[in-house]
Copies of this chain bind each other. A is one copy, B any other.
Amino acid sequence: MASEKKMDCVILGLLSHESLTGYEIKKRMDTSLNYFWGASFGSIYPTLSSMLDNGLVTKSDDTDSGRNKQIYSITQKGREYLLDWLKRPVEKDIMRYETLMKIFFGNEGGEEITAQHINAFKTKIQRELSKLFCIEKILQDCLNDDSTHKYYLLTVQFGIKTYSAYLEWCDDALKTLSEK
CB-based contact A151/B101 at 8 Å: no
The answer for the CA separation of A91 and B176 in the assembled complex, in Å, is 25
- Is A121 an interface residue, CB under 8 A from the partner? yes
CB-based contact B86/A92 at 8 Å: no
CB-based contact A109/B87 at 8 Å: yes
Contact digits for A1-35, partner B, Cβ 8 Å, 1 yes 0 no = 00000100110010011000000000000001101
- Is A73 an interface residue, CB under 8 A from the partner? no
CB-based contact A108/B79 at 8 Å: yes
CB-based contact B16/A96 at 8 Å: no
**Chain A residues in contact with chain B, CB under 8 A?**
6, 9-10, 13, 16-17, 32-33, 35-38, 79, 82-83, 86-87, 89-109, 113-114, 117, 120-121, 147-148, 150-155, 157-158, 161-162, 164-166, 168-169, 172-173, 176-177
